[in-house]
Amino acid sequence: MTTNISAGLVKELRERTGAGMMECKKALAENGGDIDAAAEWLRKSGLAKADKKADRVAAEGRIVTAQDGGKAVLVEINSETDFVAKDENFLAFADAVAQAALVSGAADIDALKAAKVATGETVEEARAAVVAKVGENVQVRRMARIDSSDNVAAYIHGGRIGVLVEVKGGDADLARGIAMHVAAMNPPHNKAADVPAEFIAKEKEIELAKMSEKDKAKPAEILEKIISGKINKIVNEVTLYGQPYVLNTDQTVEQAVKAAGADVVRFVRLAVGEGIEKVVEDYAAEVAKAMQV
């Protein structure tokens, strides 16, 4: 027996689930007009679609943040295209996940996926639902959090770079300035003491190899002073404290921080898609190869 599905029922299901009109109509028809059963049917359908898309490379997306005083989180959420990363459904999902990460206290991605968003769904259930809406693979990939009584700044640049910084002493403006610097300059390390000994040894080896035989023949103490000067310059380049401060390049970050009677305890920087191998389509090469067959 065919069930008559009213437009009002379809509208109600759309508002509840966010699914397309035809999908809602089909869900209601499949479930005899029972709106609760239809909503569950759509959710399961979304999970199935999400599973099918899970292997597709998702290297675009956004970094989102949520903060409450000294508690702050960053979350990277990926999509397949930049177009979807700007979609209102994707953006709403991303913001909901950031809030869930902050409120739940989740320390890693597995815990975050099990946390609940404001609607009562888990993050994983909400992810499956947004996959069904946007038609692309969407992944909650990474998160970072800081929970401290110190000054904590969360900074997002263009939706693609996110930074958390913890500063002992100073004020909120200093912490934000340091976060902006980290976003712009991407220092691998905080201070000179944080640079691995293996890195320094390798750089010494490289600098020594670059020197002329004449320089290598100089007395050991002079040679060591020359090498040390070069290594110090390299260390400054790869440390937050050694870099010129982007908000005042007349001083280093260390000088700016110490002038405020402060100390940078730690920082975290996430950028969209870093470490993901992107698939690059080369249509010209593909056509040329096909013509050779």
Is the model's pLDDT at 195 over the cut of 70?
yes
Q: What average pLDDT does range 234-262 have in this prediction? A: 97
Q: Tell me, what DSSP letter sits at residue 79?
A: E
- Supply the pLDDT for residue 282: 52
Q: Can you tell me the distance from the alpha carbon of 102 to that of 254, in angstroms, rounded to the nearest whole number?
A: 30
Q: Which amino acid is at 261?
A: G
**All domains of the chain, ordered by start, with CATH?**
7-53 (1.10.8.10), 57-147 (3.30.479.20)
- Supply the pLDDT for residue 284: 57
DSSP sequence for 1-32: -PPP--HHHHHHHHHHH---HHHHHHHHHHTT
Q: What average pLDDT does range 247-254 have in this prediction? A: 96
- Supply the pLDDT for residue 134: 83
**Is residue 113 within 8 Å of 122, Cβ to Cβ?**
yes
pLDDT-based confidence at 158, cuts 50/70/90? Answer: very high
- Distant-in-sequence, close-in-space partners of 60: CB < 8 Å, separation ≥ 6: 78, 79, 80, 81, 82, 84, 85, 272, 273
The 3-state DSSP class for residue 150 equals: coil
Q: Can you tell me the distance from the alpha carbon of 159 to that of 162, in angstroms, rounded to the nearest whole number?
A: 7
Is the model's pLDDT at 189 over the cut of 90?
yes
Orientation angle between helical segments 123-134 and 35-53, nearest 10 degrees: 80
Q: What average pLDDT does range 89-109 have in this prediction? A: 96
Q: Long-range contacts: 13-18, Cβ < 8 Å, 24+?
A: 13/38, 13/39, 13/42, 17/42, 17/43, 17/129, 18/89, 18/129, 18/133
pLDDT-based confidence at 293, cuts 50/70/90? Answer: very low
Is the model's pLDDT at 187 over the cut of 70?
yes
Mean pLDDT, rounded, of the chain: 87
Instruction: Kindly report the pTM of this predicted structure.
Output: 0.75
- Supply the pLDDT for residue 106: 96
- Cα distances from 40 to residues 31, 96, 122, in angstroms, run 10, 21, 14
Least reliable range by pLDDT among 184-188, 201-205, 247-251 = 201-205
Least reliable range by pLDDT among 40-44, 96-100, 280-284 = 280-284
- Supply the pLDDT for residue 38: 83
Share above pLDDT 70 across residues of the chain, in percent, rounded to a whole number: 86
- Supply the pLDDT for residue 78: 94
Tens of pLDDT, residues 112-138 = 999 999 999 999 999 988 888 888 889
Q: What angle do CA 69, 166, 185 make, to 5 degrees?
A: 125
Q: Tell me, what DSSP letter sits at residue 265?
A: E
Least reliable range by pLDDT among 13-17, 31-35, 190-194, 201-205 = 13-17
Nearest to 24 by CA among 172, 8, 226, 261: 8
- Supply the pLDDT for residue 13: 80
- Supply the pLDDT for residue 67: 98
Tens of pLDDT, residues 259-288 = 999 999 999 999 998 987 665 555 455 555
Q: Which amino acid is at 156?
A: I
**Is residue 178 within 8 Å of 170, Cβ to Cβ?**
no
Q: Can you tell me the distance from the alpha carbon of 242 to that of 252, in angstroms, rounded to the nearest whole number?
A: 6
Q: What average pLDDT does range 24-32 have in this prediction? A: 85
